[in-house]
Amino acid sequence: MTLTASPPPRPARWPLVRALLRQPVAVVTLAFLLLVVVASLFAPQIAPYTADAFDLPARLSGPTARHLLGTDELGRDMLSRLLYGGSKALLGIVEAVLTAVLVALPVGILAGYVGGRFDRAVSFVTDLVLAIPAIILVLVVLTVFPGNMHAAMIAFGLLVAPGFARIIRGVTLPLQEADFVSAARVAGVSEGRIMARHILPGVTRTAIVQASFVAANALLFAVALGFLGLTANPGEPEWGQIVAAAAHQISTQPWLLVPSGGLIALMALSLMLFGNALRDAAAEVGSAAGTGSGAAAVALPAPAVADVVRPVAPDALLSVRDLSVVFTGRGQDTLVVDRVGFDVRAGETVGLVGESGAGKSITALAVLRLLARGGRITSGQVFFEGQDVARLDDRAFDRLRGSALGLISQEPLASLDPAFSIGSQLGELVGLHDRVSGKANRERCLELLRQVQMRQPERVLQSYPHELSGGMAQRVAIAMALAGRPKLLIADEPTTALDVTVQKEILGLLRQLQRETGMAVLIVTHNLGVVADICDRVIVLYAGQVFEDAGVLNLFDRPLNPYTLGLIGANPAHAQPGQLLPVIPGRVPPPGSWPVSCRFAPRCAFAAPQCTAGPVPLLQPVSGHYSRCVRTDELFLNAAPGADHPLPLSPARPGHQEAS
Amino acid sequence: MTVSEVHTNRLAPEAPRKPLLAVRDLEVQYRRRRTDPVLRASDVVSLEVFPGETVGVVGESGSGKSTIAKAALGLAPVHSGSIHLAGRDITHLGPRGRRDLSRVLQVVFQDPNASLNPYLTVERSLAEPLEAHGLRGPELHRRVAEALDRVGLPPESSGRYPAQFSGGQKQRVAIARALIVDPQLVICDEAVSALDLSIQAQILNLLVEQQRGKQLSYLFISHDIEVVRYISDRIYVLYLGQVMETGPAGAVTGNPAHPYTQELLDSAPVADPRVQRRRREEEARRKAAQVTAPADTRPPTHGCPFAPRCPYVLDVCLAQRPPLMPTQEGGLVACHRFPEWKTLRDAPQGVAP
């Protein structure tokens, strides 16, 4: 049995705590909150005075050496009073948060998971409770339980629970449809256990943020009740009363409001910030980032090796040289495309092929300067019709893109605005490129739709994106790309989301458009069948580098790179049922953990010492055929007779009924 | 047991065997409210899986192939028809009754990122099906380690979270979870479709290896006819919720009896530029000779669902739904024009509808 990869790094113990300690905000707020909690709990031991000890000579003194935070109008020590009042406020927070969480979590999860009548009943109650002002209900509770802060805080918890539950329900809804929940059901796990084990952890992050929000509000609510004297007697060392007393002296000693109000504000702020930090830490634990995968490996450009020099082809429409792209995330630069170069000639179809993580889409998007946030081109030239467009400013490049350079993407529906009809979207582009309006504009739109072989183009013009099938939407997207009469169409996985029969139509359409307009096509795909069908030339990418670059017939007839050979061999179309497929072991290394040597060497059946000695160059063993393999000559070109020749591909293609 | 033995064993249709999974006249309808119009995801489908057999279900989006899986797993509402598993009627079984089924029936889904709970370690995910049957303690631990070994993952994997694995490794974990109870049938719903080519081959090999020497059946659902051809003993071809054709894998893909199967095979591009060129030229010749152009794209209410797209369509195809008829190769096909369409295709010059 083959091991897929080296085992992932052992997870650290207490991953949540570690993730939390990595955040400065978490450390500071947690330290502050712990300090307040401990100081409040041990108030009798650490407070310099008792809460009611008078020091009349020092009344309203402000901060002094004897009274660090000053004294009130009776000379009572402010620090001691705040310390003694802490436990009551903290208890109030705990009561409110516990009540809200204990009610909202089960109710929200049940409403989202079970749905139906229970869900509707919960929504009804939620609406009802949200319509009643909280303070009025709490006043009612306090008339029943006079002066009872516990009753008031529990009532507060119950009042915020419905809104809380509604948020939990919203997070539960997509979770209950997740595959892992379906798998648990199929595995015979009981519904209650699924909720506890699979749904609960998924809603925890949201619950933490909500709970910290409730905690901060509960603190302010408890203080407000004390301030009003509803849950505390005048003169009691309680935070609300302390603030009330300070408010009385605002004209004589304004300092008094600073320690009391400041403490409450800092507490509320700390609770919220800590909640956010806890959520982020939990998110980090649930994602790859927190587990140290690749945290150490920052791939910087490998030391330059002597790739075969490819002068810029004078007859090439697009000539890319030494293109490197770096993505920045979490403070790290990760190289994702490493000095890629290729040519596209006029009227030619070139395929960029590779597995996920090879950098094929990013290469294509970098040519168009359409990299996602965080990505930037760090080196290289992009010559279009002999001009280095990488040096153009953004405005000049915008003019080029959309006219001479067109793009179609994998998700045709995503590239159409759902709010506008096809006619208005296409018409806008036509207006932009041809500067025509009215009837001429419409005629050009219809012409474009006919060009992409759309049936009933008049009707399509009036329809909206959601009314189109995937194939029709891709035709519209192609029509939009054609509006600028491009010389080069860049197609990023244009058929991946489509059914095979529709894929065939779209590939046929691209081929015909090329015949009609003479445009070149750069197609990004992972499908070797698509490559064989439509490409004239193929560039195989692996781990951000060009591994092979050849004409399509040469590539399939006589691949000169072990990776290409492995890819072709792994195709089930070539295999006999019951026989195991020839596989490439291991996995594509993600950007950031590329080996310094030949990046395919760890998976390569033909790896030799020279393959792992250092970076390997792109060579041109045969004219017009490039391969990044130092063993090309001995493996593919001068294989000794009787040696283990790496071309195990059987010419027989079972199962392909080729009608003749 | 060698490969060939397994195959001859599997392909003995004469033996009076009982199907492990038998789906009869299944109809699944999705309605959000009682007043909503009926959305048919799968129109009367019948399908059987025998012990030790791999049955492929192939079709495009909207063919209802995944709906069959969901219905068998109790994840989709069955409107009419029946589903029997190991002789037991499971059509309308509740969650409690389904618990016993989990020893027999398991599933592997398409998206490896969605099929594992990100907050559970691999060990806890794998232990779950066993815990549901009351297994605890060191035996549980041993079975988890064994399952990891079966799918080629190192034992240290058990303490890790899904985020630490690649897509292919996650799919291995999902397969380990399905196999840990030693089920008789695993439903693979597009189980390799989201994987890269080199990883797809690894996972296909893993599935084939697991079957060796065991009476394990797969219901393998995929849109990729090449993958289905490779892994299946028998194939069902679905179109808009109806079975168009079924039969031994070699016959269905090597000598298709239904024009839709032919279209699927013709559409899937082969990784060989010369073959692709030849196919294009042949198709251009056929197209030039044929005059039939499908007019309406809506499937007829009574006739064959494929009729609007079919190059061999006759009036009868639009009026009457073709029944499943036996073919010479041991399969069944629902086509009024079988077998004459095959002669028309090979010699299209004389077409005169």
Contact B9, B35 (CB under 8 A): no
* pLDDT above 90 for A59: no
CB < 8 Å to B276, chain A: 529, 532-533
Mean pLDDT score, A161-165: 92
Q: What is the pLDDT of residues A381-416, one digit of tens each?
A: 999 998 888 888 888 888 888 788 999 988 888 888
- Nearest by CB to residue B119, choosing from A286, A568, A657, is A286
CA distance, residue B203 to nearest chain A CA (Å): 10
- What's the Cα-to-Cα distance from A103 to each of A145, A389, A556, B131, rounded to whole Å? 22, 61, 64, 29
Which helix (H) or strand (E) element contains residue B230?
A: helix B225-231
A154 shares its domain with A235: yes
Res. A443 pLDDT band, cuts 50 70 90? very high
* pLDDT above 50 for A592: yes
A383 shares its domain with A523: yes
Q: Is residue A4 a part of any domain in this protein?
A: no
Q: Is residue A167 a part of any domain in this protein?
A: yes
At residue B36, the pLDDT reads: 55
Q: Which one, of A621, A569, A553, A628, lies nearest residue A594 by Cα?
A: A628
Give the end of a domain, one of A571, A595, A619.
A595
At residue B353, the pLDDT reads: 41
Q: Is residue A364 a part of any domain in this protein?
A: yes
* pLDDT above 70 for B308: yes
Domain that includes residue A468, residue range? 405-483
A230 shares its domain with A191: yes
Which helix (H) or strand (E) element contains residue A255?
A: none
- Nearest by CB to residue B196, choosing from A8, A355, A590, is A355
Res. B108 pLDDT band, cuts 50 70 90? very high
CA distance, residue B131 to nearest chain A CA (Å): 8
At residue A291, the pLDDT reads: 40
Q: What is the pLDDT of residues A613-654, one digit of tens each?
A: 888 999 999 999 999 999 988 888 876 554 444 544 433 333
Q: Is residue A10 a part of any domain in this protein?
A: no
Q: Which residue has the higher pLDDT, B202 or B290?
A: B202
CB < 8 Å to B305, chain A: none
**A624: phi > 0 → left, psi -120 to 50 → alpha, else beta; which?**
left
Amino acid (1-letter code) at residue A379: S
* pLDDT above 90 for A447: yes
CB < 8 Å to B275, chain A: 532, 653, 656, 658
Q: What is the mean pLDDT of chain B?
A: 85
CA distance, residue A21 to nearest chain B CA (Å): 20
CB < 8 Å to B266, chain A: 504
3-state secondary structure B292-309: CCCCCCCCCCCCCCCHHH
Give the end of a domain, one of A455, A483, A511.
A483
At residue A648, the pLDDT reads: 44
CA distance, residue B114 to nearest chain A CA (Å): 6
Q: What is the pLDDT of residues A515-541, one digit of tens each?
A: 999 999 999 999 999 999 999 999 999
Q: What is the pLDDT of residues A277-319, one digit of tens each?
A: 988 887 776 654 434 444 334 445 455 567 777 887 778 899 9
At residue A528, the pLDDT reads: 93
Q: Is residue A651 a part of any domain in this protein?
A: no
Report the CATH number at residue A100: 1.10.3720.10
Q: Which of A506, A563, A564, A583 to mutate to test the interface with B (most CBs of B within 10 A)?
A: A583
Q: Which residue has the higher pLDDT, A627 or B351?
A: A627
Mean pLDDT score, A55-75: 85
At residue B5, the pLDDT reads: 40
A510 shares its domain with A574: yes
At residue B95, the pLDDT reads: 78
* pLDDT above 60 for A273: yes
- Nearest by CB to residue A286, choosing from B3, B163, B199, is B163
DSSP secondary structure of B24-51? EEEEEEE-SSTTSPPEEEEEEEEEEE-T
Token duo for residue A385: 């019709």
User: Taking CB atoms and an 8 Å limit, are A355 and B197 in contact across chains?
Assistant: yes
Q: How far apart are CA A166 and CA B221, in angstroms?
A: 37
Q: What is the mean pLDDT of chain A?
A: 86
* Structural domains for chain B: 3-254 (3.40.50.300), 259-350 (no CATH)
A464 shares its domain with A537: no
A152 shares its domain with A261: yes
At residue B104, the pLDDT reads: 92
A275 shares its domain with A195: yes
Q: Is residue A385 a part of any domain in this protein?
A: yes
**Count of the separate structural domains present in chain A:** 3
CB < 8 Å to B107, chain A: 182-183, 186
Give the end of a domain, one of A444, A460, A483.
A483
Expressed in angstroms, the distance from the first to the final Cα of chain A is 42
A478 shares its domain with A534: no
Contact A446, A461 (CB under 8 A): yes
* pLDDT above 50 for A247: yes
Buried b (16+ CB within 10 A) or exposed e, A174-189: ebbebbbbbbbbbbbb
At residue B32, the pLDDT reads: 58
- Percent of chain A topping pLDDT 90: 50
A375 shares its domain with A469: no
A233 shares its domain with A358: no
CB < 8 Å to A187, chain B: 102, 106, 128-129, 132, 177, 181
At residue A310, the pLDDT reads: 80
A65 shares its domain with A92: yes
Report the CATH number at residue A569: 3.40.50.300
In this structure, the dihedral spanned by the alpha carbons of residues A290, A291, A292 and A294, taken in order and rounded to 10 degrees, is -100
User: Taking CB atoms and an 8 Å limit, are B132 and A355 in contact across chains?
Assistant: no
* pLDDT above 60 for B248: yes
User: Taking CB atoms and an 8 Å limit, are B204 and A2 in contact across chains?
Assistant: no
- Nearest chain A residue to B271 by CA distance is A529
Q: Is residue A649 a part of any domain in this protein?
A: no
Angle between helices A200-227 and A257-286 (to 10 degrees): 180
At residue B41, the pLDDT reads: 64
Q: Is residue A606 a part of any domain in this protein?
A: no
At residue A614, the pLDDT reads: 86
Mean pLDDT score, B288-293: 61
User: Taking CB atoms and an 8 Å limit, are A556 and B273 in contact across chains?
Assistant: yes
Q: What is the pLDDT of residues B129-140, one digit of tens each?
A: 999 888 888 999
User: Taking CB atoms and an 8 Å limit, are A291 and B282 in contact across chains?
Assistant: no
User: Taking CB atoms and an 8 Å limit, are A556 and B74 in contact across chains?
Assistant: no
Q: Which of B156, B164, B218, B219 to mutate to test the interface with A (most CBs of A within 10 A)?
A: B164
User: Taking CB atoms and an 8 Å limit, are A500 and B102 in contact across chains?
Assistant: no
Token duo for residue A403: 């006219």
DSSP B52: T
- Nearest chain B residue to A203 by CA distance is B119
- Nearest chain A residue to B165 by CA distance is A8
- Nearest by CB to residue B227, choosing from A528, A556, A572, is A572
Mean pLDDT score, A156-171: 93
pTM of the model: 0.83
A181 shares its domain with A97: yes
- Nearest chain A residue to B169 by CA distance is A4
Backbone phi, psi, residue B243, to 5°: -75, 120
Amino acid (1-letter code) at residue B216: L
